[in-house]
Chains A and B, each alone.
Chain A
Amino acid sequence: MQRPRTTLKGLPMKRVSLALTLVAATALSVQGVSAQTLKTVQDRGMLSCGVSQGLPGFSSPDDKGNWTGLDVDVCRALAAAVLNDPSKIKFVPLSAKDRFTALQSGEIDVLSRNTTWTVSRDTSLGANFTGVTYYDGQGFMVKKSLKVNSALELNSASVCVQTGTTTEQNLADFFKGNNMKYEVIAFGTIDEAVKAYESGRCDVFTDDASGLYASRLKLANPADHVVLPEIISKEPLGPMVRHGDDQWFDIVKWTLFAMVNAEELGVTQKNVDEMLKSDKPEMKRVLGTDGNLGEQLGLTKDWVVRIVKAVGNYGEAFERNVGTGSPLGIARGINNLWNKGGIQYAPPIR
């Protein structure tokens, strides 16, 4: 007689079911979640990748249901390296608050979902960050009609935010530090927060700057909204894996490093076959025509070739998804390579 509560988007049930999965997984399994993620993924023939519920440029499905974005490309690169097929991925859309539970319970093999690397997440969640795919920082978006030019003019503002992120704490710190009052309204998903902002419930919408640009695309009149210049926090976003499986940790970590190294060496999706003929020793090591570095990781010698063929190097993935050529139009900035004025730096492959 009473309708179940799972009617729209299944939000509450999803959360509860995830929590119950975790309880069941930790309470009933004898060894906890399997430590052999590589073998599990290869036996399954499918990589399970946790992504956002739709953040343009990072992870969002297009009109045909294909997932695209920078975070998605990290998963595709991983699938190419591990399964030799960038399409063998099951994407699991997760809200900010459900994401860690999904990783802990083993529902996903890797979490690639614009997640900020912090010490508490790295230590207390039973998970490890494998690197930084995007150096971000928290910013504010307001309506142009408010004529606000700086975040320091936001005293007594109402702020819409997505719950379950580092954003809420940064926000509290920023307003407290600047002796300003504010009201926070926290929503379960980013879409709900943006909708409330658009309807006028809040003066300000806050998120990581990349997320602000992405969300602005979804507004009815993106030109009516402006992202304020202040960046109030450091938000290094990166993929996460479960603690306790060093081999899998290495693979995910070096997949991203391989993309960055490929850019540094000038290996692109187009020229990778040509580069295979190169006799530069460094190039031969990276592309696996010399040595067995890939096999040491538990993969094949040509792992980097597979990755670059699937998604291109880091720079290509960046430009395609979030860069100046994409709808988001974000400049490379600090995400440029270390030798080009940015801070993207990968340890060498040798």
Chain B
Amino acid sequence: MAYPLVVTKRMMEHPTDSHTMERYEATGGYVAARQSIGQTREELVELVKASGLLGRGGAAFSAGLKWSFLAPARPAYLVVNGDESEPGTFKDRQLMERDPHQIVEGMIIAAKANEVHDSFVYIRGEYPKPARRLQQAVAEAYAKGYLGKGIFGTDYDLELTVHLGAGAYICGEETALLNSLEGRRGEPRLKPPYFPAAKGLYMKPTIVNNIETISNLPHIINQGSEWFAGLSDSADTGTFMMSISGHVNKPGNYELPHGLTWREVIYDVAGGIRNGNELKAWVPGGASAPWFVPELHLDKPVTKEACAADGSMLGSGAIIVMDHTTDMVGAAERLVAFFAEESCGQCTPCREGTTWLDMILQRVLNGAGRDADIDLLLDVADNISVGLGWPPKQTTICPLGPSAVSPVMSLVRHFRDEVEAHIASAPHAGGQGVSVSIRGIA
């Protein structure tokens, strides 16, 4: 079944050269940017508000509304978040690699809409090729006068800097990203100030948008907000990109309309489970999202609201599918280990707690689990994310700590029997059993 494409249309139609300036301009590129330079901030903000475009970085907040919050102080900055590091998320990578001019053009529009003259793209350090492609596109745009002093022959100046991170997941959190961009340790900032739109980069008003969000802008200018809103039946307008990985037959990036069910996404779009296996669970919106299971969620719609109602989130649109061969304790441990590794180390509960959770899970996997460990897991998790609810009531500055709680919570909620089985099959089952592997005596 073919869905209407927006941000991936060019790359699908011109798979070999969609990243070049030549192809981009031959397919209507930079028309929207030229037009936007002649428009006022109010016009552009209203247009994007009317389009209903929501941020695609995970929080799904209205892009136009965010722009309207930009404080009047100047200088102000535009920062585009390309630090896509959530396990299972790889959509921005494709947009940067395959259609970088779409991002440059989107940034010109966003810059004009916010009367910004300095913009940055922050790309995760492990993305050399996307960075190269984007850097190439930026160089081409500078050469043509689309960036730099007096762009498109007007008196509007816009600088665009591509910045590569140094390999820290936390720099995807917007305030940690800003710290990193300033040359500081990539650590989330304290709130207040609550929004970069008031105090962001160098404590100046800053718009932070995601790559996919930005990529939609030229299309909204060209085809109008009504067209964009009309692509979807829900409040979440346009299309959205989903990165599907795990035990499916056709993993990959898909640009999809809103409102499909999970069954359609997993079985139709992604071609079903490998080897005809049974679906066991999936992570619906990036590694930090609580898991869904087929018994409860397979026929639920893939929307922000539906996910929230079921205590999870669509997040950055990454789904990781697990079939019946998966050891769920192992899966949880792997996810928790990621967050423990990526904790910035500022807040005690996250720094100590995520690693502790991982150590307990490792111990259970290694046959040294104790009966008390399930309660211990839940209580340690509770000290990071109070009440284990969703959205989390965190004891930390940013949501990374609670993100590590999601797999633990999901594991015990849906697969408690598997944890118990691991514990029961431990060589010292029933006893305290711990000192065996922990102190390295056994």
A, B from the same assembly: no
